[in-house]
Amino acid sequence: MAATILDGNKIRDEIQSELLQQIIELKRAGITPGLAAVLVGENPASQIYVRSKVKTCEALGLYSEKIERSKDSTTGELLELVNDLNRNDAIDGILVQLPLPPQVDTKRVLMAVDPAKDVDGFHPVNVGNLVAGRTGFVPCTPAGILEILKRSKIPLKGARAVVIGRSDIVGKPVAMLLLHEHCTVTICHSRTRDLPGVAREGDILVAAMGKPAFVTADFIKPGATVIDVGINRLTTEEEVRKIFHDPIGPLATLQKRGSVLVGDVQPEDARAIAGAFTPVPGGVGPLTIVMLMSNTIQAARMRRTVVSG
C-alpha cells in the first residue's frame, strides 16, 4: 500500500484562511501588521524567496516593504538599516534574507534585530524562549513541520522522532518542538554511527541535511511518517539517472524545465515504505512562508498588546 502524501499546499491554504480572519479583526482595531524584507545582493534564489514573501503579504492584506541593498554593503550599513527598522512603528516583523555577502558579519546583523520583531525566530532570546517552552517566535520551517504533523493527525505523544540535521534553522528547533509535544527525540548528523539504523527507529523521520535523496529505503521504518525538508535542484541527466529508480518522468521534467527538484529523501523509497510523507515540491516548502505571515501577525498582536479573542 502506497504512502499517504501530506499535501503542504492544502495545509497552507487552511492556515492562510485562518490568518485572513485574524487580519480582518486586527484591521477593525486599526492595526495593519507590517513586514520588512531586507535583500542584500543579487542571489537569484533569495530574490525568488523575497518576492514570494512580499506577494503573500499583498494577498493577505499585510503591509510590506522590500528593502534592497547592494552586494558591497558593509556590516555597519546593515546594522544601521536594522536599527532604523527596529524604530519604525509601521514594521512589526523584520526578515533579513540569508545568505548575506561574505564580508558581512551575519550573526551581528541577526542579533541586532529587536527580538519583538524577529519573525524568523533566529535571535537568542527567541531561541531561549523555544527551549524553555515560553511564548516567542519559532523559526518558520520547523513551525510549518509541526502544523503538517498536527493537521494530518500524526500521533506525536510518545512517538520516536529522529531528526537528521542539526542546523540552528531547522534541525535543532524542530527537535525542540517535537520534544515539547512529548516525542522521544534523537538528533543525528554526519558523525552519527550507523545512521540508517538509528533513522529506522523513528516513527517520525525528519530529513534536513541538504543532500539530494540521501535518505534511502534502509533509513525508513515501514509505516513511518517521513518529513522531507530538502530542496535540491538536479540539472543533468546523469544526476537524475543516479537518483531515481525509474527516471522516465523526471527526465521528461528535466527536458521541459531544465531542472528537477528532489528532497533529501529518495521519493520512490518514501512512497513504497513510509506510512505518510511530504513530497518535494509541495510538502514543507509552502508552509514556510505562511508561518512567516503567522509570526508577523503574532508580532503585531504582542507589540500592540492585542489579546486574541
Please state, rounded to an integer, the average pLDDT across all residues of the chain: 95
* 103 among known catalytic residues: no
Read off the pLDDT of each residue in 101-127 and give the average, rounded to a whole number.
Answer: 96
Indicate the pLDDT class of residue 44, thresholds 50, 70 and 90. confident
Pairing of strands 160-164, 184-188: parallel
**Least confidently predicted of 211-215, 231-235, 302-306:** 302-306
Question: Which residue out of 53, 117, 172, 221 is catalytically annotated?
Answer: 53
**For the segment 181-210, what is each residue's pLDDT rounded down to a tens digit?**
999 999 999 999 999 999 999 999 999 999
pLDDT of 3 reads 93
Judge whether 30-117 and 140-285 match in fold: yes
287 pLDDT higher than 60? yes
pLDDT of 304 reads 79
* CATH 3.40.50.720 is the classification of domain 30-117: no
* 27 among known catalytic residues: no
At 135, which amino acid appears?
T
Query: Nearest Cα to 48, choosing from 298, 281, 206, 299?
Result: 281
C-alpha cell at 238: 546523469
58 pLDDT higher than 60? yes
- Dihedral sign of CA atoms 142, 143, 144, 149 in order: positive
Question: Which residue out of 22, 97, 266, 298 is catalytically annotated?
Answer: 97
Query: Nearest Cα to 261, choosing from 234, 242, 240, 230?
Result: 234
Question: Which residue out of 22, 92, 117, 120 is catalytically annotated?
Answer: 120
To the question of pTM greater than 0.75 for the whole model, the response is yes
CATH of 140-285, one of 3.30.360.10, 3.40.50.1970, 3.40.50.720, 2.60.120.460: 3.40.50.720
**For the segment 14-32, what is each residue's pLDDT rounded down to a tens digit?**
999 999 999 999 999 999 9
284 pLDDT higher than 60? yes
What are the structural domain ranges in the chain? 30-117, 140-285
Query: Nearest Cα to 140, choosing from 130, 154, 151?
Result: 130
Please count the residues of the chain: 309
Residue 140 near residue 288, CB atoms below 8 Å: yes
* 255 among known catalytic residues: no
Read off the pLDDT of each residue in 293-304 and give the average, rounded to a whole number.
Answer: 93
Residue 12 near residue 60, CB atoms below 8 Å: no
